[in-house]
Amino acid sequence: MNTKVYIVDARHPNTDLLVSAAHIIQEGGLVAFPTETVYGLGADGTDSEAVAKIFMAKGRPSDNPLILHIADTAMVKTLAKEVPANARILMGRFWPGPLTLVLKRTQAVPDVVTGGLDTVAIRLPDSEVARELIRLAGVPVAGPSANTSGRPSPTTAQAVLADLEGKIEGIIDAGPCGIGVESTVVDCTTPVPTLLRPGGITMEMLLEVLGEVEYQPIKGEDTKAPRAPGMKYKHYAPLAPMVLYEGDSAQVAKAIADASKIALESKRVGAIVSNETAALLEKGVQVADYGSRYRPEEVAAGLYEALRYFDSEPVDVIYAEGIDEFGLGLAVMNRLRKAAGYRIVKVE
Ligand code: AMP
Ligand code: MG
């Protein structure tokens, strides 16, 4: 299959091109599209056969449900059986934006979207291109991240094509995504809303409007029936094994500098680190720099490109630097721990 590339401006997308892309979705095909978080892989969320193609193209396990993307809040009505007060507050405050709400679903939602769950995940994206595409398609658009399952999510059209070229009908290229990590997923069916996946809307922002939020970070290889089924799978992994260093930042920087120096004697060594730490490393270490460790937004925006950097610069081992878990740092650390397969060194 020849994957068509539609290049559009992120703020003022060419309507004719979006109409062509929307047609593909209406006809049951797959189109990758930009959002403010990462690139999504879109299909008609009301068409079981079209949604099944998403799982095929990504190699995604069928029990990992998809998020339905909508163009306006009115679309919630057909998909969700009820909208509790907490969900209404979150929609009012954070939609459009990087927040996904899990609600009780209606029969209009195909089983293949929810992996058979009685709930559905819904998001109204802030991206102009994404919203216009959905509006033109006229249906909720199922849209997981547009990567091969297990790989880092794509924040550029080039990263999407590296994984999915020839497997999907089209892609809309509007340049790099702004936020760089996926949406925050909040389950609103529990008495106290539960954070299922940290993301673009921070824990601090949620607490400010809700007062109370439950969150149990998944530890290690804990696979017992996770509430967000996708969270149990290997995810975000670069091609080489990665070790994550966490703790006091000066000590982490020193530990990575020492470990990478020793490893260089016998291996090709990569480092995914802040620019502060990059300055301390031996010349032979190949560095993917994710920005300043003191600016979590910058780290989030550069994270997945850093994880993909060593696809084209092969190394035998990667040392990665953790950051503090405030703001987007919580989402960044969630992704880095998974990418490392929970190979973590704690430094005091
Ligand atoms: P992705 O499609 O890669 O952005 O991942 C979507 C995330 O939302 C995964 O972690 C899913 O498990 C989660 N998710 C989707 N639908 C539901 C649902 N009905 N209940 C709980 N989690 C969900
Ligand atoms: Mg994903």
pLDDT tens digits, 215-273 = 988 665 444 445 566 555 568 889 999 999 999 999 999 999 999 999 999 999 999 99
Q: How far is the CA of 46 from the centre of ligand 1 (A)?
A: 17
State the CATH architecture for 4-210.
Alpha-Beta Complex (3.90)
Q: How far is the CA of 273 from the centre of ligand 1 (A)?
A: 28
Residue nearest to atom 2 of ligand 1 (CA): 144
pLDDT of residue 84: 98
pLDDT of residue 233: 58
Mean pLDDT lowest among 71-75, 102-106, 236-240: 236-240
Q: Is the CB of 121 under 6 A from ligand 1?
A: yes
Give ranges for CATH 3.90.870.10 in the chain. 4-210
Give ranges for CATH 3.40.50.11030 in the chain. 242-347
pLDDT of residue 230: 58
Q: Is the CB of 146 under 6 A from ligand 1?
A: no
Q: Which atom of ligand 1 is nearest to the CA of 67?
A: 15
Q: How far is the CA of 97 from the centre of ligand 1 (A)?
A: 16
- Closest ligand (CA of 233): 1
pLDDT tens digits, 10-68 = 999 999 999 999 999 999 999 999 999 999 999 999 999 999 999 999 999 999 999 99
Q: How far is the CA of 148 from the centre of ligand 2 (A)?
A: 9
State the CATH architecture for 242-347.
3-Layer(aba) Sandwich (3.40)
Residues lying with their CB under 5 A of ligand 2, a single-atom ion: 145
Residue nearest to atom 23 of ligand 1 (CA): 228
Q: Answer left, alpha or beta for residue 180, where phi above 0 means left and psi between -120 and 50 means alpha.
A: left
Q: Is the CB of 285 under 6 A from ligand 1?
A: no
pTM attached to this predicted model: 0.95
pLDDT tens digits, 284-293 = 999 999 999 9
